Amino acid sequence: MNNLSEDFPILQQKVNDEQLVYLDNAATTQKPRAVVEAITNYYYHDNANVHRGVHTLAERATAQFEAVRKKVAHFINASSEEEIIYTKGTTEGLNWIAASYGETFLKPGDEIVISYMEHHSNLVPWQNLAKKKGAVLKYIDLLPDGQLDMDSAYKQITDKTVIVSLAHASNVLGAVNPIAEVTKIAHLHGAIMVVDGAQSTPHMKIDVQALGIDFFAFSGHKLMAPTGIGILWGKSELLDKMPPLEFGGEMIDWVQLQKTTYKKAPWKFEGGTQNIAGVIGLGAAIDYLESIGMENIASYEKTLIANVLPEMLNIQGIEIYGPLDPEKRTGIISFNLKGLHPHDVATALDMEGVAIRAGHHCAQPLMEYLNVAATARASFYVYNTVADGKKLIEAIKATKEFFNNGIV
């Protein structure tokens, strides 16, 4: 897969006179020509609003728009394309579950269970919902290596639990959570299982039916699609019980002066003009990924991490967060260098052409749990190479030498 970078023109450039090594994929991925061309082709030849016209352009746009819904259903093995709702991203999907399902079914004294590794998008909506409904928000502990503590999961999920919501993979630790096992615990107590799939969907084969979960949300821009498009999947029997959140054009069935009826799911949740070009771009991104094979992507990334991680661990003064076994993590490596602020590390690496991220990564409770203010984070994707990993190691060593006045 080392020649995939040729499909990504942005990766061919130099930054600070150095060949760009892009390792900020957990924040957003680069887009292949096929995705950009699909969007351009739509705007050049088929630009029209969907579902609202009988002219040729409208019919072509609508056909493409709905074809992607079927494509997404196949991509995550949903039982029907009618379980696929277009959103602007993972954050919106999780907020919609809290605001629709949570507001409808949560009562005072009920429990919501999440973990300490959650992204703010899978924490703040539940925190807000708990306050509004008088519910209790509880946290599953982590093991020393950053993996989910299953003993804690068994203790925290009780008969009072109504919602369990977890990241499939941590955006800081890279840890992949045992979602199917947690789902069985949740269902045993009558709770639903919500999954933040932002960091898993781009990197592994997703099968929502095999996981046994109830809701799954992910973002397009983390899997080579445009920004502003995402997916919320939910079991049809749950979506049917949930009220819509946005009212107006397209989501209605019939409007009278004092009464309105709504379409069935998923369309009742898709009020207003959708991100049509984004949907078409998402379809092209899925085509690109499936041409490689999600199993192949997962295997390749594990090989990359198996090459990089031991070399990083040999650097004196480095601390790496999350499991050290490549089989138990995605392509995310969060780290700190002793005595250096992560922002200084990221700035120094940028001078070497290596793009990483530094900060709290929208996971401040996790930072507090780890007893750090921030971390540096390198995140790999399928177009990265072993050479990219070596450049990262060299840049970290050069940074360490520079800040230590030449003393490694």
Cα of first residue to Cα of last residue in the chain, in angstroms, is 34
Contact 344, 338 (CB under 8 A): no
Instruction: Enumerate the domain spans of the chain.
Output: 4-26+293-403, 35-290
Rg (CA), the chain: 22
Of the pLDDT bands very low, low, confident and very high (cuts 50, 70, 90), residue 408 is very low
- pLDDT of 405 strictly over 80: no
Q: What's the predicted TM-score (pTM) here?
A: 0.96
The pLDDT tens digits for 244-295 are 999 988 898 899 999 999 999 999 999 999 999 999 999 999 999 999 999 9
pLDDT digits (tens, 9 = 90+) for 28-59: 999 999 999 999 999 999 999 999 889 999 99
Indicate if the pLDDT at residue 398 is higher than 80: yes
Give the phi and the psi of residue 252 in degrees, each rounded to 5.
-90, 155
- What is d(CA 91, CA 208) in angstroms, rounded to the nearest whole number? 19
How confident is residue 1, by pLDDT bands cut at 50, 70 and 90?
A: low
**In the predicted model, is pLDDT for residue 407 greater than 50?**
no
Could you please state the CATH topology (level 3) that the domain comprising 35-290 is classified under.
Aspartate Aminotransferase; domain 2 (3.40.640)
Answer yes or no: 362 catalytic: yes
153/117 Cα distance (integer angstroms): 13
Q: CATH 3.90.1150.10: does it fit domain 4-26+293-403?
A: yes
- Which member of 1, 99, 362, 372 is catalytic? 362
Tell me the pLDDT tens digit for each residue of 307-336: 999 999 999 999 999 999 999 999 999 999
- Whether the CB-CB separation of 306 and 326 falls below 8 Å is answered with yes
Statement: residue 147 has pLDDT above 90 = yes
Q: Report the pLDDT value the prediction gives residue 184, as an integer from 0 to 100.
A: 98
Residues 313, 317, 319: CA angle, nearest 5 degrees: 55
Edge-first strand listing for the sheet containing 375-379: 318-321, 332-337, 375-379, 357-359
Q: For position 252, what pLDDT does the model report?
A: 87
- For range 295-301, the mean pLDDT: 97
